[in-house]
Amino acid sequence: MNNLTSKNSQTLTSSDIENLALRFGGKSDDYIEIVNKQQNNNTINKYALLKEINNELNT
């Protein structure tokens, strides 16, 4: 069973792009997006409710 509460990798490869490539052709493996972890942490820490939910999920 996949863990649906979080993504496993910090590096995103889009399965959507992959599916489109399968259907219409083209390369799918060159789409790599680097997640800005610091920006995400800033957002979570900025808003109290997000911070509380994040803390609960990580305990």
Partner 1 sequence: MQRVFIKGIKGGLGSTSVVANLACVLKKSDVDVIAIDLDAKSDLGLHFGLPWKYTKGWSNEASFEDALAHFHQDNDGIIFLPFGDSDDTNIDKITKIVNKCKNLNYSDEAWILFDCPSHINLSYYPLEKNDIVIELVNCDAICHSLIYRRLQNLKNSDTTWKHYFLVNRYNSASTLEFDLFSLWQSTLPLMAPFFINSDEVIKESTAYRNVALNCAPYSVANDDFETLAGWLVSKANL
Angle, CA 40 vertex, CA 36 and CA 42 arms, to 5°: 115
Q: Which is nearer to partner 1, 24 or 29 (CB)?
A: 24
Nearest residue to 56 (alpha-carbon basis) of 6, 7, 9, 10: 6
Distance CA 49, CA 3 (A): 22
Write the binding mask 1 to 40 for partner 1: x where contact by CB under 8 A, - elsewhere: xxxxxxx----x-x-x--xx--x---------x-xx--xx
Residues near partner 1, by CB under 8 A: 1-7, 12, 14, 16, 19-20, 23, 33, 35-36, 39-40, 43-44, 46-47, 49-50, 53, 57
